Amino acid sequence: MDLLGSATIFLAICLACLFVLSAWRRKIYGTKNLPPGPMPLPIIGNFLELKAKNVSESLRRLYNIFPRIMDLLPGPHKTFFKNLHDVQAFISKRVKAHEETFDPNVLRDYVDAFLLKMEQEKHNPQTEFTRENLAMTVYDIFIAGTETGSTSLRYFLLVLLEHPDVEAKIHAEIDRTIGRDRLPSIKDRIEMPYTEAVIHELQRYIDLIPLGLTRLVQKETQIRGYTIPKGSTIYPILSSALHDSNQFENPRKFCPEHFLDDKGAFKKNSADMPFSAGKRNCLGEGLARMQLFLFLTTILQSFRLKHPPGVTQIDLTPDVSGFGNIPRPHLLCFVPR
């Protein structure tokens, strides 16, 4: 057995022993914090202070440190990767169905356009248009669109729950522009400046992806006296723009008037960049804005938002704040209008 294999087995045994000891100590001493103690492997940290609610976070960190070991151990990370594989399998089936019905003269969607490019470059050994890249780009778009869209909508409803005056104004605009006899459509957006301003302000306020996505510097760049070397990885930190006090009067408060002029018309703001900015901003921005408008207006056309019995206020601060700001789990009631 090679040295790496021996070390892997040794670490796996150590981790197993630490988890067993941690469970035993919790049983003996309850859920209170346990006193720190020296560890033979400092990089692992003090496992004796693990709490049940922090196990998932601890396992995530462990996986980042010891991926080969964690692949052999049970835990929530197994479910996570199973779900990812299920999504990838679903996408592969859809790509295969497109291949079987592909017509180069009738491009139905992104997959068809990619398949056409694959056909055009099939003799190019350096092409990036491969079946594997097709599956992965569709996967990226699928995950990015579904997760961010659903989380944004969930956060939107919670914020409006705490601002009934804003919700009431949206109801009034819906009744005035759309009525109750038909469903909202995308053409209604231009006639509903207040609702449009609310959606922009909701995206600014929840600050869904505060750091933005990483960027790679293509050439040495000078910015405000600083030199950023070629090849550097940078974060745009979208939160700094979305909470810029020079651009928004009350950057830490939810205020739709940030996007309304004196006449009540929708007003753009250059610092409004929840989808990032530049040539590599989110390619799904237009679709996402359309979806959020349609989902939100369709819900509020038929329902009022209300706290569940016994609840008068909820905490709008994120439950998790890192790459993304994830709302806390709350219940709310849909009351027919």
pLDDT band at 239 (very low <50, low <70, confident <90, very high): very high
Integer CA distances (angstroms), 40 to 14, 55, 278, in order: 9, 21, 49
Please name the amino acid found at residue 89.
Answer: A
CB 15 within 8 A of CB 69: yes
Quick one: pLDDT at residue 303?
Answer: 97
The domain ranges of the chain are: 3-73, 78-129, 133-336
Quick one: pLDDT at residue 2?
Answer: 55
> Which tokens belong to 271?
């610092």
Q: What is the DSSP letter of 32?
A: S
> Which tokens belong to 273?
């960049």
Q: Of the ranges 20-34, 43-57, 114-128, which is most confident? A: 114-128
pLDDT band at 322 (very low <50, low <70, confident <90, very high): confident
Give exposure, 69-108, as e/b (b: 16+ Cβ within 10 Å): bbeebebebeeeeeeeeeebeebeeebeebeeebeeeeee
- Dihedral angle computed from the Cα positions of residues 297, 299, 301 and 302, in that order, rounded to the nearest 10 degrees: 180
pLDDT band at 27 (very low <50, low <70, confident <90, very high): low
Quick one: pLDDT at residue 20?
Answer: 55
282 is in an annotated binding site: yes
Minimum mean pLDDT range among 24-38, 184-198, 243-257, 319-333: 24-38
For the full predicted model, state whether its pTM sits above 0.75: no
Give 300-320 as a DSSP string.
Answer: HHHEEEEPPTT------S-SE
Give 261-305 as a DSSP string.
Answer: -TTS-B---TT--TT--STTS-TTHHHHHHHHHHHHHHHHHHEEE
What's domain 133-336's superfamily in CATH? Cytochrome P450 (1.10.630.10)
Per-residue pLDDT reduced to its tens digit, 136-171: 888 888 887 888 899 999 999 999 999 999 999 999
Share of the chain above pLDDT 90, in %: 55
Helix (H, G, I), strand (E, B) or coil at 326: strand
